[in-house]
Structure 1
Amino acid sequence: MEIGQHVIAAGLAAIGAIRAVAAGTPIAAAIIAGVAILAWHTAGALLPLRSRARSAAIWWLVGFGAVWIAAVAVSPEFVWVAFLLWLLAGHLLPLRWGLVFSGVVFAVVVVGPIVHHGGTSYANIFGPLIGGVFAFGISRGYLQLLRDAAERERLLSSLTRAQHEMADLQDELALAQREAGAIAERTRISRDIHDTVAQGLSSIRLLAHAGAARSTDAEAARTLSQLEDLAGDSLGDVRRIVAALAPAELDGNGLAEALKRMLDRTQQEAGLRTELHVDESLPTLPTAVEVALLRTAQSALANVRLHAGASRVVISLIDDEGSVRLDMIDDGVGFDVSTWERDRESGSSSYGLRFIRARLRELGGGLDIESAPGEGTAISVSVPIHPEQTPRASGLAAAPASARPASAAQTASPAQPDSAAQPASPETKETP
């Protein structure tokens, strides 16, 4: 387009100068007028290199119009340059001012021959009019093409950036799910050790202590005392293993502090505004409940970052009369819950939400989701504060307990059949 303007400017200036000389205009005046037009146009070509201000280009066009009017005053043959002015007006000026400028140019085209020759013809009126409309329309169309190209470039850049962000979020989500799976397995192992090995060692220690206290045989009492000490040492080791397998995020101040750190990290990384509300009456929660709620919040927050397009997330921990409730609300794009429920029934819904439901079901809890397209999403999780053990854990934990009567009967003296049923003293009783 720029090269074409230079060619048009040079051609029209040359035609104007030649026709002016042919019409009787002094050669020097015609050449000066033509050179002035070319010089001003060339200065405009250098303008973008020195100034990017749109106002400078507009003032340059006004100056170009003044130079052209001066050239028309020298000879009406320079009205040919009006075609270039109409092109520039459509390109540089807003539509309203472009039409005003084009109207002024057309008026000069009509008046110029009348001033010089005392009259004009219909051809000198309608010819420039048609040419001006054509030139102005071409220029506006070209400008719209440039705008469309810039918009497509912007959209392409935005799409590319969104794809990169989506890939990063998917990587983060995959990593979070892998970590959640590993930690869930560690938590399960920790719970199983607590419910089986730790309970068994605690029972052995209590029975050994009771047997040593009742025994009249010094050697047997010493052996039972050693057994009690050995069981106590092993129980301490098991407790340290259980503590080491617990999630690192729950170290320190428990679930509320872990959620706060998670939200702060999300706010820094994703730019989301986050809030955390915790009931002051919320009691200390069992580790299994804290782990389930923390993993649920992490998985739900990962879904918000990946799919919701939200700007604000609010998490609330609520004491709900024997249960603890975790509510998460975002102002994202939302989704159709009925469609999601159908996908869940067919097994094609999000694995993350399916895992959340399975984890909560183990603790006797539940998950509710409220959402609609364009209205954000609300997730509510409810878990009993003292959840019942799963059948598997209960069965494993019951084994040591079922063995206690037999062990007690073996260590009890025949003369004291009821002493085995007596509880251990408070000073020696241990809880796993």
Structure 2
Amino acid sequence: MLVHPARAGRVVSSMTAVQHVLFALLLVIGLVRAVQDGAATVPLLLATLALVGWYAAGARLGRRAQDQPSAPRPALGAWFLLGLALVWVALVLISHELVWLAFSLWLLAGHLMTTRVALPFSLAVLGVVVAAPWHALGAPPGAAGIIGPAVGAAFALALSRGQQRLVRENIERRRLVESLVRAQAESELLHAELASAQRESGILAERTRLSRDIHDTLAQGFSSILLLARAGAVADADRRAELLAQIEATASDNLVEARRVVGALAPQQLEGSGLASALRRILDAQADETGVATELRVEGDLASLPTVVEVALLRAAQGALANVREHSAARHVVVTLTESDDSVRLDVVDDGRGFDAAAWARAAPSAPELGGYGLRSSRARLRELGGGLEIESQAGSGTALSAYVPLTQAFSSHPVDHEEDHR
């Protein structure tokens, strides 16, 4: 039966108090009978004071043992009880009426001694109880004089052993409660650390999203505005008016896109259409701004792609076309969008000046000044969907970029609601 540690502690304290009261009561009874029997007063008083002092010292030691179970040595209690027994034997020599205290000695033996030591000790005390009246009265004790003390000794040992077991269980329960409290405190600390890590992870993910979207949308829009403004500086009046209209349209689109980036919404180009239509509009705008010939090729059914896949491929296309506009000096660019049974692929190929893709791949992570953040962010975005980004280019031979996403993983992670996401 499980007992609450606090209740068990109260039970142990109550039983200990009963033992002290019993010891005092038996001592008083023995002293009264000894005085009535004509025992010498001074030796009896000195021996009694010695017994009470020794017992009080042992009681204090017992309280320390209860509060700090690991503090006292087990042998110390046995030596205390042997000393108490010697003082008691001295009292019995003064008056055999003090044999009454043997019951308290048997109780203490069960508490302070191991069973191997407690049994011979109890037998020795029983021998004193039986022999003292025989020596004092000069007549051997009867059967009751032997059986009675023997039963008392057995009862006292059994009672003290039960109380000792209760004490040990109380100590173990108290240790268990303390261990549970420590475990709970550690669990709360770990929970707080986990919550902090999750918050930091969320912050990092949001920063990554914002950096990617800002690069793929706002930065490219500003780049287009800059190129249009530079062209307008040397254009005639009619061309300048046309360029100003394009600048206004690009700035307006960037403003809308900025609001959508903050709200983590889908790109404006994907609203009310699909990925192919969005790519066609981007290519037409680039052709108008730069004069580069553009071509879009679509193969397969692309009407039910998950939005997250469309966003990833659109961002990859925007990043690739931004590089074509700013770095390649290309005359022609072809964008091919292909859907197969298990994947969708976007290819962007230009006939520009190209670059050493292998050297860039080796140097880019440790040399951010070389650029290419958009390519790295596009690759990271695609990898989150189980896809990837491949680049093939050599100086003077153009560039080919290929982005792909496996549809099986994309659909399982981001199921499409065909009623709400119908293009």
TM-score by length of 2: 0.49
TM-score by length of 1: 0.48
